Amino acid sequence: MYVSSGLEPRRTRKYYLTWGSFFFALVFILVGLLYYSTQMVDYSWRWYRVPQYFFFQEEVEVRAEVQGEVLSVKDQKKKALVTVGGEGEKETYTVPLSGLWVEQGDFINMGDVLASHKEWQVGILLQGLWLTLKVSLVAIIFGTILGLFTGLARISQNPTLRWGAVTYIEIVRGSPLLVQIFIWYFVFGTLINSLLNRYGMPSIPPLWFGVAALSFFAGAYVAEIVRAGIQSVHTGQNEAARSLGMSASQAMRHVILPQAFRRILPPLAGQFISLIKDSSLLGIIAIRELTKATREVVTTSLQPFELWFVCALLYLVLTFTFSMLVQYLERRTVMS
């Protein structure tokens, strides 16, 4: 429970109303300046075209696969069974009755449209958002596992483990993520897929090399966070656990790590939020995550202002949701 020290100035209702009004006025001014700037460049806002990049209706056509005559058209409530036959071949198609284009007795060539209907399809922005979420979650899981073991190796007494962990951490943290993605895709990807193809095995898609790059990048930072969290726990905790008969691994698992977890949760959350935003770099290796999907839509629609604002908002939704989840975990760990 928070107890006031009496040294803080008293915040009155008038104080909050004044500065709250100042904040909203500042936001209003910034939005007005942005709108005024768009008017100066003669830009036409077209927000009504944005929803189609999330969901849209696609015209689906059912085409004949054989050439011949429409032998029968049977009505089955909202569906119709269309039978086409000729030269010893016969095919039956189930099509929507409302979109039927043919009648019994019509002659049909191969590829002619028998019926059409509209289906809802997922737009490119939603596909990119889902791929960003999937890539980020997988990279967070693998990055956490890798960082945990590397962090433990970093403080190990074994020189091989300690020096190996230091080497990995320094190499990854000392080079840009963009360069590491290129190395994973063009170097490791080429070598691994060449070996797989030589032995008749299928190639690994570029997506997984992107996930590996993000995982190894996050793992190096998570390792340092884990190392700092473990070392922040007082040595007396470990000594007390050992005096109760626990082994070194038992003391680490049951005493040190639970306490360290509470301390490293906030910096871990910051690292994982950065990882979600860093996933936007995967577009350079032909992975259609959210940023690349937005760039493709901007190229075809010529709507940079609306679409980049929507892209930023979608990233904000992802990061804010993850931040709220971490805050919930923090409260649970404090209560426990």
Q: Tell me, letter by letter, the H, E, C secondary structure of 190-240.
A: HHHHHHHHHCCCCCCCHHHHHHHHHHHHHHHHHHHHHHHHHHHCCHHHHHH
CA atoms within 13 A on the CB side of 7: 1
Which neighbouring-strand residues pair with 107? 69
The number of helix segments (H) and strand segments (E) in the chain equals: 11, 6
Q: Is 87 strand, coil or helix?
A: coil
> Where in the chain does DSSP place strands (E)?
55-63, 68-76, 79-86, 89-96, 107-108, 113-122
From residue 285, give the alpha-carbon distance in Å to each of 194, 239, 280, 315. Answer: 18, 50, 11, 20
**58-121: which CATH topology?**
OB fold (Dihydrolipoamide Acetyltransferase, E2P) (2.40.50)
DSSP percent split of the chain into helix, strand, coil, nearest 5: 65, 15, 20
- Give me the pLDDT at residue 177, please: 93
Separation of alpha carbons 190 and 56, rounded Å: 37
How does pLDDT run along the chain (336 residues), one tens digit per residue?
A: 444 444 445 678 888 888 889 999 999 999 888 888 877 877 778 888 888 899 888 888 888 888 888 787 887 777 888 888 877 778 888 888 777 887 887 888 888 888 887 888 888 999 999 999 999 999 999 999 999 999 989 988 889 999 999 999 999 999 999 999 999 999 999 999 999 998 888 889 989 999 999 999 999 999 999 888 888 877 777 778 778 778 777 787 778 787 778 888 888 888 899 999 999 999 998 889 999 999 999 998 888 888 999 999 999 999 999 888 888 877 776 666
Domain with CATH 1.10.3720.10 in the chain: 124-335
Its pTM surpasses 0.85: no
For the chain, give every residue range classified as CATH 2.40.50.100: 58-121
CATH numeric code, 124-335: 1.10.3720.10
Classify 104 as helix, strand or coil: coil
